[in-house]
Amino acid sequence: MTVRKNIFLSLGAAVALAIAAFMVQSCGIYSFTGTSIQPDVKTVSIPFFEYKALKVNPSLSNQLTEALQEKFRRLTRLELVDEEGDLEVVGAVVGYDVRATAITATEQAAQNRLTVSVKVSFTNHKYPEESFPEKSFSAYADFDATQTLDAVESTLCEEIIEKLCEDIFNGTVANW
């Protein structure tokens, strides 16, 4: 009799778990990528990020824009459109700076930090209360002062772009 009771309890737990999973999926708001996008939001537009920083990196804006678009493609069900998406993520690179972060006893830089700053505005045309007019994001990567920026710049920028995309994505559709 206890074997039969255990089977029914296990079966009941499995059914309850399946119902809960179905309810979470069917509400359409939560996804397992951490996004909270309403079911009637179908499109996103992410135009080219302008470059407004004083120090020039000619490829940074393009790389950042493409990486952010790819992140939205991979992690959401949204269709990427050129303009007038249900969601719009508009940004500009406003800072690109190198500064010493560690100084030796002889007052020379031992380590430098490349920091990239962006300003982003997010518009949710379907749910305006989720929008924000402007938010700043920045990310950095450190490198040894014995290396030149030219030698490590592309690797550092890849790392920084990845961090920025994560922060922007979370700040817009993950509601973190």
pLDDT digits (tens, 9 = 90+) for 17-52: 444 444 444 344 444 445 778 999 999 999 999 999
Q: What is the per-residue pLDDT for 6?
A: 55
The pLDDT of residue 10 is above 70: no
Q: Looking at domain 38-172, which of 3.40.50.970, 3.30.160.150, 3.30.70.890, 2.40.160.20 is its CATH number?
A: 3.30.160.150
> How much is the pLDDT for 2?
58
Nearest to 120 by CA among 69, 161, 172: 172
- The pTM is what? 0.78
Q: What is the pLDDT of residue 70?
A: 98
pLDDT at 102: 78
Given a cut of 80, whether residue 105 has pLDDT beyond it is no
Q: pLDDT-based confidence at 175, cuts 50/70/90?
A: low
pLDDT cut 70: percent of the chain above it: 78
164-172: average pLDDT: 96
Range 147-169 average pLDDT: 97
